[in-house]
């Protein structure tokens, strides 16, 4: 983006995008955010991937919210995220008056990706994630920056490709945290189905510092899906993103006013 430190990177959980009504609400929320400055969107689509895998008889396996991805799983993930979910969201955004452009992390100028190393789970277990990618690089993504400068809203599916052209499944939270730091946005907003990080009683933890974040990840109090979000928040904050929030995006068109958790420094 031309003015570093401005704008929002919005990560949308797939649970918000399954139905037309949800996509309409999300598109209206995106319109509000864009009124305040440049907007970049990264989306998941895990539930639709799960449904497609079940229909094909492919078992789901995951660790700390990261999907273990063999070749059959990868084929489903690419088709669902880069195809159905991305295209439907772009179409909904266009209806809401947003000049949206659909992309993946495999597109030039979005994010270089390499195959992830063996993953150390929260419980210390070493896990081979399969065809899973890790976003790399320290430069601002050229294509994303130019689209924003021209007034467009990039909507990015979390599919990447390595230097050999191998497609890779990239966790959407991981990609969002990485891009937020690379773009020097003012705010990373992770919107999903729960009102932020919940404590053992199901109540929202309104604020988390770095020390508590590390504890939640290490001692297993954070749910599997929340671990990836917290790690993404940590990367964004370390990368200079001033405001990092995890919020509920259900049944709302104003994500800035949603209940949630603010993730800060030490």
229 catalytically annotated = yes
134 catalytically annotated = no
Q: What CA–CA distance (Å, rounded) separates 185 from 38?
A: 9
Catalytic residue among 7, 13, 45, 46: 46
Q: What CA–CA distance (Å, rounded) separates 141 from 151?
A: 16
Q: How far is CA 133 from the centre of its chain?
A: 14
DSSP state of 123: T
Catalytic residue among 13, 14, 177, 196: 14
Coil/strand/helix, residue 136: coil
Catalytic residue among 44, 225, 229, 239: 229
128 catalytically annotated = no
Catalytic residue among 11, 65, 133, 239: 11
Q: What CA–CA distance (Å, rounded) separates 106 from 4?
A: 24
Catalytic residue among 25, 64, 107, 173: 173
11 catalytically annotated = yes
Phi/psi of residue 212, each to 5°?
Answer: -70, -35
Name the residue among 98, 49, 84, 46 with its Cα closest to residue 253: 98
Q: What CA–CA distance (Å, rounded) separates 253 from 262?
A: 19
56 catalytically annotated = no
Residues designated as active site: 11, 14, 46, 173, 229
């Amino acid at each position: 983006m031309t003015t570093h430190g401005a704008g929002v990177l919005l990560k949308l959980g797939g649970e918000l995008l399954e139905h037309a009504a949800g996509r309409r609400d999300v598109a209206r929320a995106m319109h509000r955010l864009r009124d305040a400055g440049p907007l970049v969107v990264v989306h998941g689509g895990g539930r639709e991937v799960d449904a497609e895998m079940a229909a094909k008889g492919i078992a789901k396996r995951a660790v700390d919210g990261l999907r273990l991805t063999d070749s059959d799983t990868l084929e489903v993930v690419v088709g669902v995220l880069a195809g159905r979910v991305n295209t439907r969201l772009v179409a909904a955004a266009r209806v809401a008056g947003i000049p949206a452009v659909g992309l993946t992390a495999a597109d030039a100028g979005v994010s270089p990706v390499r195959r992830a190393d063996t993953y150390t789970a929260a419980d210390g277990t070493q896990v081979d994630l399969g065809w899973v990618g890790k976003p790399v690089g320290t430069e601002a993504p050229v294509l994303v920056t130019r689209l924003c400068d021209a007034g467009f809203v990039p909507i990015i599916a979390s599919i990447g490709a390595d230097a050999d052209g191998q497609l890779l499944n990239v966790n959407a939270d991981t990609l969002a945290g990485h891009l937020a730091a690379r773009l020097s946005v003012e705010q990373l907003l992770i919107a999903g189905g729960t009102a932020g990080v919940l404590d053992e009683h199901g109540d929202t933890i309104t604020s988390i510092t770095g020390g508590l974040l590390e504890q939640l990840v290490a001692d297993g109090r954070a749910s599997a899906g929340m671990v990836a979000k917290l790690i993404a928040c940590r990367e964004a904050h370390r990368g200079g993103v001033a405001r990092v929030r995890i919020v509920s995006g259900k049944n709302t068109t104003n994500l800035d006013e949603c209940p949630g958790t603010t993730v800060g420094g030490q």
